[in-house]
Amino acid sequence: MKTIEYESLKTFGYALLKNVIPAELLKSIKIRLETQVIEEGLNNTLFHSQEDQIILKNVFIKSPELFLPLLDLESVTSILNDVFKDGYTLQSMNASRANAINEKDHELFAHIDSRLPSKGIEHTLALGIAFCIDEFTEKNGATRVWPFSHLSGLRPEEAQKDGLILPPPILIEAKPGDAFIFLGHLWHAVGPNRTNNSRWGIFTFFNPWWIKPTWDYKECGEKIFSLLTDHQKKLFGFTTQTPLMSSSRTLTKTKIEDLPKEYFKAKKIE
């Protein structure tokens, strides 16, 4: 039986999951993110840094104990299992901080995050989850979405050319610890942060297992690999590797129970 959240995702293109991250974990995550911004700023290694936004890529690499548990939340994985019935992998997991900015300097840019503008939920090529570390409000630039736009099969710019009319965007307001989940081809945009405080979110994307992720997570290293659950090893692509050019291994998928326990063997199974 499908959940209410899944039905919302199917109908409107998005859903809101309440209280998925415990308060103590939220506090630790917020402190770590702010510390990492300072560290990477001093080392000049920030992935993306502009006046209105800072992005930290692959946050689980430096702090696996804080961020890896987010990948195993039952409320999230149950929806992922329903959307991607044949399996899925992690595309990316980045932290985004929306900084205070003058509203006149911000343009509301409608876009999709999927590689292709598929139609409906059945052919979804990407699923996004925004873990809300801070409160998401109208004043601090919470995400705007266009309900039903995932049914159009079009990018926003293509729809404008075709004269397609859809309902106006609505604001997704959420509390710290909530998670906003949306189809990758849902039209959405980020509003201006008109407060004096930053707004953090952990934006995590998943693909069907046969789509190449943003990064090759099999290169995570022995330390991270040793911390991964079986589910996380699947997310990192260890069980869906390209077949070798030999007779020793011709299957793309590997059963998790057959995956070697040693990192270097698991990274290149034969």
Task: Tell me the longest C-alpha to C-alpha distance in the chain.
Answer: 61
Tell me how many domains the chain contains. Answer: 1
Distant-in-sequence, close-in-space partners of 23: CB < 8 Å, separation ≥ 6: 176, 177
Q: Identify the domain containing residue 22 by its residue range.
A: 4-216
- Whether 239 maps to a domain, the answer reads no
- Whether 235 maps to a domain, the answer reads no
Q: What is the pTM of this model?
A: 0.92
- Whether 183 maps to a domain, the answer reads yes
Half-sphere exposure in the Cβ direction for 262 (13 Å, CA): 4
% residues pLDDT > 90 (the chain)? 71
| pLDDT tens per residue, range 45-65 | 999 888 888 999 999 999 999
* Segment (H or E) for 6: helix 4-12
The string of DSSP codes covering 26-83 is HHHHHHHHHHHHHHHHHHT--SEE-SSEEEE--TTTT-HHHHGGGGG-HHHHHHHHHH
Copy the structure tokens of residue 60: 């689980």
- Whether 251 maps to a domain, the answer reads no
- Whether 236 maps to a domain, the answer reads no
- Compute the radius of gyration of the chain from its Cα atoms: 19
- Whether 108 maps to a domain, the answer reads yes
- Whether 227 maps to a domain, the answer reads no
Give CA 222 to chain center in angstroms. 24
| pLDDT tens per residue, range 109-147 | 889 999 889 999 999 999 999 999 999 999 998 999 999
| pLDDT tens per residue, range 190-219 | 888 889 888 999 999 999 999 999 999 999
Give CA 27 to chain center in angstroms. 20
- Whether 69 maps to a domain, the answer reads yes
CATH number at residue 30: 2.60.120.620
Q: How far apart are CA 257 and CA 215, in angstroms?
A: 24
| pLDDT tens per residue, range 218-237 | 999 999 999 999 999 999 99
